[in-house]
Chains A and B, each alone.
Chain A
């Protein structure tokens, strides 16, 4: 118990990284019981420059659309996600340091094993309409995404939940289909905004949450306006009096609006002109390392990709540094053919795969080919520069005797008709909170988005075993092996993790910027402020 207290103290003082905490915590067998303690340092300690209350913050965001909806089940891009994190709270929150802390949940613990999780809610929190937050609201919120009739984009995320029940007014119990030590992480997903329930149902279009701002208006594709919630339960958050989210699709239009003082911050700086923008003395560019990954997904059941030698040949036939330099203009890092990056708790630092045309030829020969010609489907719908990346890859692979025929597909309908339909297509993915979350969605045999059609027995066994394993050391070993399996046998050729590059005027202040999602984990309205 003294050990536990000691550890808790360290957590409160912010002296322990998430990885360190989890490892020592698990060693003491208290994985999540004390995890809620992280709530204190994050909310209580103010970041070094002292924030000021007030002002009207205008944020220019790409990707707003006239079809945007307030329903969190339909959030799909940074615009509505950022609005969502302003008006709603979630059970848990990912801090800028990557720790999972309680937000509306005060604490959570496995009850008694990892197949059953009890979340204790904070008391005394009210929704914008005055209704106090209770366990029934959480149940109704999660049921909005679950069940036969669910229309939610998050249906795949809540699949592992068997049933949800309340225990009193402030405890929610999740019964899972199978043990999962990483379950609490998914409650921080941007779809899982807690909404008030009436008769066991939420009204997803009402825009009522417990968040730091109250929705004033949403004009889809134009702007959303929120004003500060005077009764916000967090201290040291939600500094602005008013925040306008402006939908500005064109990067040049965003840049001009920022330079002429019509907005205070913007997302997605045009990387081609970022060096010119840096010369403006009134602006600061935020280059945030992220584990957002860009990749080429091969169908491992389709010829010729069903032969792992072909996959290895293609993995050795790409110069990753060249892609980072020329497509990302240096705003990114090398990826290593598997999705788990350095920000994940269970990251395994595997040796970086190098560009090696000779090795590629060697694997090609092993597969019985002297030369190979394959189609690669791509589109700029995947990310800006995706087609360029494919064409550059084609040049690299040509040196290994591989002819990549780049097929440019229409951006419209790409996810429906091309991705997961063609044998080899390009895709990207935002980071997920945990390795289990990512693997369960993309690499497990029954994954919704198993875009490589990968069926690896050893991997699937390990994935299930790791979920139930509470020993941090053993989990780390298992996840390391899984990462190696994907790296060596999976169907991803992953060249790069891209950075989130945004810009703001120097009048805007902020603490350390989170890496889990764009725009400070989508929490820019809650975390940023105007300097005095």
Chain B
């Protein structure tokens, strides 16, 4: 167990280092984009004097290295800075939107992960039958359709024609959990369509892969039923690859859903990130990318821990 804690600590340290590198890369990348907050905010109406005045006020005329370290030292003292565009504290901008994004990702995961695992197990159990083919065909078709298309189809039938759920998922902090759930359900279903196939196929493949191993054959010979074999004997050994895929999809649900946000008018982090990049609002871009990067790092860490715990051989290396 000590070994495991050591691994986790080491990975966390590495993760922090990765975050540092990422913050530099993002800073540089935004810097390299043509224009800055001054030119982007004034747009077609920019005059050289007004651009220069904004740059001076926001300290954009300082060299890039000193601006980066200003930002970094702020971050280390827990100060994410202020949005260059609105002057609002970045924390304030992020806070509601981060909760919204996590809420949507959570709802989508609660639907799609059990569904994908269940379908994967069923497909493995009835492999190469009509059921297996139907499951694969359905999920693969779903993933092949662009998410905005799925979203529009859902809106057309469920919102416009049946009128069950509003087409706009405008959640805000004053709504009850239930209201929020109702508004989040359509985007969550859309995301389920998009993420299900990947996880389901991996579950199926990992289980089928193990079904040919000798210990499973032994289990058959003992006279165990197929359900018991798969759920009790195969699945525990198949966790490692499955969890990795689940984690990748969870990370996607948090970081990559801007299209779904736009179609459902859902106020999440994605739109904030896109707008901030478009206006070169560096502190907001930095903060959002730190959240996204940390999401990937943490989720991957969790995946590794689960793999290690589920495999005693990794837990006790020689």
Q: Which residues of A contact B (CB under 8 A)?
A: 65-69, 74, 76, 148-156, 205, 219-223, 246-250, 252-253, 256-257, 259-260, 262-263, 412-413, 415-417, 419, 427, 448-449
Compute how far the CA of A250 lies from the CA of B281 in the bound complex, rounded to whole angstroms.
22
- What residues of chain B lie closer than 8 Å to A250, measured between beta carbons? 262-263, 265
Distance between B159 CB and nearest chain A CB, rounded to angstroms: 5
- What residues of chain A lie closer than 8 Å to B166, measured between beta carbons? 257, 260, 262
Per-residue contact bits, chain B 189-211, to A (CB 8 Å; 1 contact, 0 not): 00000000000000000000000
Q: Is the CB of A221 within 8 A of B35?
A: no
Beta-carbon nearest neighbor of B171 in chain A: A222
Q: Is the CB of B264 within 8 A of A415?
A: no
Compute how far the CA of A250 lies from the CA of B39 in the bound complex, rounded to whole angstroms.
25
A252 in contact with B50 given A222-B170, A449-B44 (CB within 8 Å): no
Describe B's contact surface by its main secondary structure: helix
- What residues of chain A lie closer than 8 Å to B28, measured between beta carbons? none
Distance between A89 CB and nearest chain B CB, rounded to angstroms: 22
For residue B74, CB closer than 8 A to chain A, the reply is: no
Once A and B bind, how many residue pairs between them come within 8 Å at the CB atom?
135
Describe A's contact surface by its main secondary structure: loop
Q: Is the CB of B168 within 8 A of A252?
A: no
A67 in contact with B46 given A260-B160, A260-B166 (CB within 8 Å): no
Compute how far the CA of A155 lies from the CA of B40 in the bound complex, rounded to whole angstroms.
16
**10 closest Cβ pairs, A-B complex:** A67-B85, A416-B35, A153-B45, A256-B167, A66-B275, A413-B34, A67-B279, A416-B39, A151-B54, A155-B50
Task: Give chain B interface residues in 39-69, CB to chain A under 8 Å.
Answer: 39-47, 49-50, 53-54, 57
Question: How large, as a class, is the contact surface on chain B?
Answer: 35 or more
Listed by A's residue number, 9 A-B pairs whose Cβ atoms lie within 8 Å are: A66-B93, A74-B85, A149-B57, A246-B265, A249-B271, A253-B263, A257-B166, A262-B166, A416-B39
Q: Which of B38, B163, B263 has the most CB of A within 10 A?
A: B263
Q: Is the CB of B43 within 8 A of A76?
A: yes
Q: Is the CB of B43 within 8 A of A415?
A: yes
- What residues of chain B lie closer than 8 Å to A246, measured between beta carbons? 168, 170, 265
Compute how far the CA of A151 lies from the CA of B167 in the bound complex, rounded to whole angstroms.
39
Per-residue contact bits, chain B 139-175, to A (CB 8 Å; 1 contact, 0 not): 0000000000000100100011001001110101000
Distance between A205 CB and nearest chain B CB, rounded to angstroms: 7
Q: Is the CB of A153 within 8 A of B42?
A: yes
Compute how far the CA of A195 lies from the CA of B272 in the bound complex, rounded to whole angstroms.
29
For residue B267, CB closer than 8 A to chain A, the reply is: yes
A153 in contact with B160 given A205-B87, A221-B267, A252-B263 (CB within 8 Å): no
Beta-carbon nearest neighbor of B277 in chain A: A412
Compute how far the CA of A399 lies from the CA of B58 in the bound complex, rounded to whole angstroms.
52
Q: Is the CB of A65 within 8 A of B34?
A: no
- What residues of chain B lie closer than 8 Å to A69, measured between beta carbons? 85-87
Beta-carbon nearest neighbor of A145 in chain B: B50
Contact pick for A260, options B42, B152, B163, B271, CB 8 Å: B163
Distance between B149 CB and nearest chain A CB, rounded to angstroms: 11
Q: Is the CB of B45 within 8 A of A260?
A: no
